Structure 1
């Protein structure tokens, strides 16, 4: 090794090595204090003021869950959450895909049939205002309570140009109880036509 090579080696910094350097105690103290404060804050501070959140009160949430007895359910809200994606905000549906609710004979007709459709769903050919639709409507019987189904039925029967009577939760419950054994959706026009026929 020439002297110049040795000099060059002496000018190089040593290779970095990992040493045992624990986190400084003051950093641990700050982090521990902040964590303890956060846990304490979550456990001790509770404010149900709806102005601090999305403005829903406890009563509103109970009504949505079918909770508080006598609490009103907003049919428009249920429609926006469950129905608008297919039937659209105008109730006109999507041509050739999803049937309209506006002036639909199934909507403004017998309330028991309308309730049964929401409770159990429909599959196969369904004719609305002379146009056949071949799709599938999901069942909402396990997802929505009687009050919610009654509210959304009342909403669609009184909007989109429809003028039909409101539906009560008791009427929906009667249909639910009568068809309690049914596990499959209705087979379109074929099943619904039978359902719409008066008994006797």
Structure 2
């Protein structure tokens, strides 16, 4: 009889590794300790009052969302950016054939009560601006903006984009709001606004 070779798998395997036989190298521990020490030192040695010229020059009022002017004052540029810029654009040029321009608009430069009423009640239908007809809709802002905000945005529009018209006060807006408190519908474009001009 021929003897079978001994193929015991257990004899061919190496023993399981143990960490105590191969600990973390001392060099790796030293680098980790140096990095941790540097990080803690860096945090505690940094100055909290860096030079202001390196910052973005925002004030606490700006960060808190409060206007930087007098208490209760509204920022016309901010109101314009939040409510008007999508249609009339940042330049006040509008979109040709779609949204009328505010730059040089006879409606913007008209007597105080006309632009105030446009913002309070909105416009529907055909409106002619600088000899171009626009047929769309402008929303009413009487329920969205305060008297101070309407005055501020109108003053912003009337003094920018090449416009040069007088200031409108919140008191004028309040008077027009009270005078038109029964009005439920928007102005019907040229038809209503031309009558309001007189």
Q: Same fold (TM over 0.5)?
A: yes
- Paired residue secondary structure (1:106): coil
Q: Distance in 1 between matches of 2:85 and 2:77?
A: 10
Q: Distance in 1 between matches of 2:140 and 2:113?
A: 15
* Aligned counterpart for 1:56 among listed residues 42, 54, 64: 64
Q: Distance in 2 between matches of 1:100 and 1:56?
A: 33
Q: Distance in 1 between matches of 2:62 and 2:157?
A: 26
For residues 86-101 of structure 1, the aligned pairs below 5 Å read 86-101=87-102
For structure 1, the residue ranges without an aligned partner over 5 or more in a row are: 1-49, 64-68
After TM superposition, the score normalised by the length of structure 2 is 0.67
For residues 83-122 of structure 1, the aligned pairs below 5 Å read 83-122=84-123
Q: Distance in 2 between matches of 1:126 and 1:77?
A: 26
Q: Distance in 2 between matches of 1:180 and 1:53?
A: 34
Q: Distance in 2 between matches of 1:89 and 1:147?
A: 21
Cα shift at 1:60 = 3.6
Cα shift at 1:71 = 2.4
Q: Distance in 1 between matches of 2:60 and 2:177?
A: 39
Q: Distance in 2 between matches of 1:146 and 1:195?
A: 20
CA 1:51–1:72 in 2, change beyond 3 Å: closer, same or farther?
closer
- Partner residue, 1:195: 196
- Paired residue secondary structure (2:90): coil
Please say which structure displays the higher CA radius of gyration: 2
For residues 62-81 of structure 1, the aligned pairs below 5 Å read 70-81=71-82
Deviation per residue, 1:128-155 (Å, 9 max, x gap): 0000000000000000000000000000
- Partner residue, 1:186: 187
For structure 2, the residue ranges without an aligned partner over 5 or more in a row are: 1-57
- Partner residue, 2:32: none
- Contact 2:67–2:75 (CA<8 Å) still a contact in 1? no
